[in-house]
Amino acid sequence: MPRKGSTKVRTGCLTCKIRKVKCDESKPHCHRCVSTGRKCDGYAPPPSSSALSWHRPRHLFPNVNDVGERRALQFFCQAAGPSLSGPMDPYFWTHLVMQFSTFEPAVRHSVVAISSLYEQICSKPNSVRLLTDNRLALCHYNSAIKELKSMNNEPLVLLVCILFVCIEFLLGNREPAIEHCKHGVVILENVEASYPWAKKYLSPIFRRLTLFPFFFATDPSCFPKLLGLNDQLPASFESLEQAQFYIDAITTRTVSLVRRGDRYRLEEMRDTPVSPELLEEQEKIQALLDRWHSLFLDLKDISSAASWSEETVCNVLLRYDISRIWVDTVFEYEEMIYDKYIDKFRLIVARAIELQSSKTPRSSDARSPPKFIFEMGFMPLLYYVVLRCRCLATRTHALSLMKTLGATRECLWDTCTMYAVGRRVIEIEHDFLFEEKGRPSTPPRYPGLPPDEVRVRDTTTSPIPTIQVDALGREIGGRMTGFFRRKRDGSIYLQTEFIVET
């Protein structure tokens, strides 16, 4: 009999452990299960030496008896949770969410749904109707919604709101994800001051989360309320987390202004003077970015950079760099304006290349990029470089980095789609076609900076993938994509093509 306080370690396959019978421990499947006609669930992986090894569903969820649910919880602890944050701090997913899962049913049900969908995406990255094919995820998502309806704890509702957004991201559902985001922002305003833990752990996520509706909502009425409008930058940054907290709000504020400036860039109001209100907002954001960058440089001078994540630092700086270009050019109709920022684009790509070099696998067990992350990582930022930098070498580097540095899916951004669209933009503007291996099939007509009349002003892509049949009778997947281009008289027209996703 084990001493008091000791832990008896059970061995054997998972099925025999559940049935509480002796296992003969034959691998990969024990003979006792096979001989009785039962399906052997295999063996638990060996304990990890990582900081997450203590998250064992058998310890955290002693009352969870369902094999599928327990397996999903274990997969979340070991694979999904640590990956969801992308370049951001994973603490929310690896610790906070798991802690609440032990005593809040809505959180636990959401975690099971997220884990099950995440694993399905890993095994079937091109699956379109994930939820209808995943009864476990559907059941637990419905259970989480039911639990949420009877919940009167607003900070906890906020946490579950983030989990619901994640589920809708995994499903590729734009409208429900946007509605959850808007609802969460309203609640956050009421609880942020009263609950310090919500301000510390949930507010930073919502600051980044409010960014995606400005890219995916078709109706401006769907845009969420901006967070951080009344931010006063401190005299100095005390940490990288604090610097990130402020740049996230500035970036979202910048993208909001970009959306309001669309009418000036895409012909509708090109000859109309920009309103004083918008010009004032532009100046405020420019001043905030200048001040933020100065404080960040001071922080790097006095802080120990060794403790910083390379990915986080690079992502924060890229957000700053691109926000700077965005706000400077927000009302510009002429695409030639971006040629002034070629050195800035080169710096962005150089930073990304340096990060990629540091991530190059040096051993056979190096981890591959995640299939899905909840945050906006590097891929959408590099996509902007592909669209706006007309230096062929620089934008081609950025195009390749979209796949090597980005996740397969980031938030609602799909790498295959954006890579295919970015590649086509380069072909249109430099007038050549890429080979399958990414090299030009013929010399570009415009190897230097292309003239303004051939430049693509913007792109729009259908959210729904379609199948077409090519000249050889093969079915190919892709999306209808529109390219906003300019006629000789200056008017804008939409060139529509079916873009094959590779």
**Environment class of 234 (CB within 10 Å of its CB; exposed 0-12, middle 13-18, buried 19+):** exposed
Residue 499: its H or E element: strand 492-500
Write out pLDDT tens, residues 400-454.
999 999 998 999 999 999 999 999 999 999 999 998 777 888 889 999 999 988 9
Question: What is the mean predicted confidence (pLDDT) over 179-203?
Answer: 90
Is 390 or 46 the better-scoring residue by pLDDT?
390
Instruction: Count how many Cα atoms sit within 13 Å of the Cα of residue 166 in the half-sphere of its side chain.
Output: 32
User: In this predicted structure, which of 1-5, 367-371, 390-394 has the lowest mean pLDDT?
Assistant: 1-5
Work out whether strand 458-461 and strand 413-414 pair parallel, antiparallel, or are unpaired: unpaired
In this prediction, residue 60 carries a pLDDT of: 52
| Composition of the chain by helix, strand, coil, percent to 5 | 55, 5, 35
In this prediction, residue 46 carries a pLDDT of: 39
In this prediction, residue 27 carries a pLDDT of: 52
Q: What values do phi and psi take at 492, rounded to 5?
A: -105, 135
User: Cβ of 461: how many Cβ atoms within 10 Å?
Assistant: 16
In this prediction, residue 49 carries a pLDDT of: 32
In this prediction, residue 129 carries a pLDDT of: 47
Is 302 or 260 the better-scoring residue by pLDDT?
260
pTM for the whole thing? Answer: 0.83
User: Cβ of 266: how many Cβ atoms within 10 Å?
Assistant: 15
8 pLDDT band, cuts 50/70/90, is very low
Write out pLDDT tens, residues 292-340.
999 999 987 766 555 678 899 999 999 999 999 999 999 988 899 999 9
Domains and CATH numbers, the chain: 1-43 (4.10.240), 50-217 (no CATH), 228-333 (1.20.58)
Write out pLDDT tens, residues 336-359.
999 999 999 999 999 999 999 887
Alpha carbon distances (Å) from 104 to 19, 137, 191, 192, 300: 27, 17, 19, 21, 40
Mean pLDDT, rounded, of the chain: 83
Most confidently predicted of 17-26, 47-56, 363-372, 382-391: 382-391
Write out pLDDT tens, residues 443-501.
899 999 999 889 999 999 988 888 888 777 888 888 999 999 988 887 888 999 999 88
Question: What is the mean predicted confidence (pLDDT) over 84-101?
Answer: 92
In this prediction, residue 290 carries a pLDDT of: 97
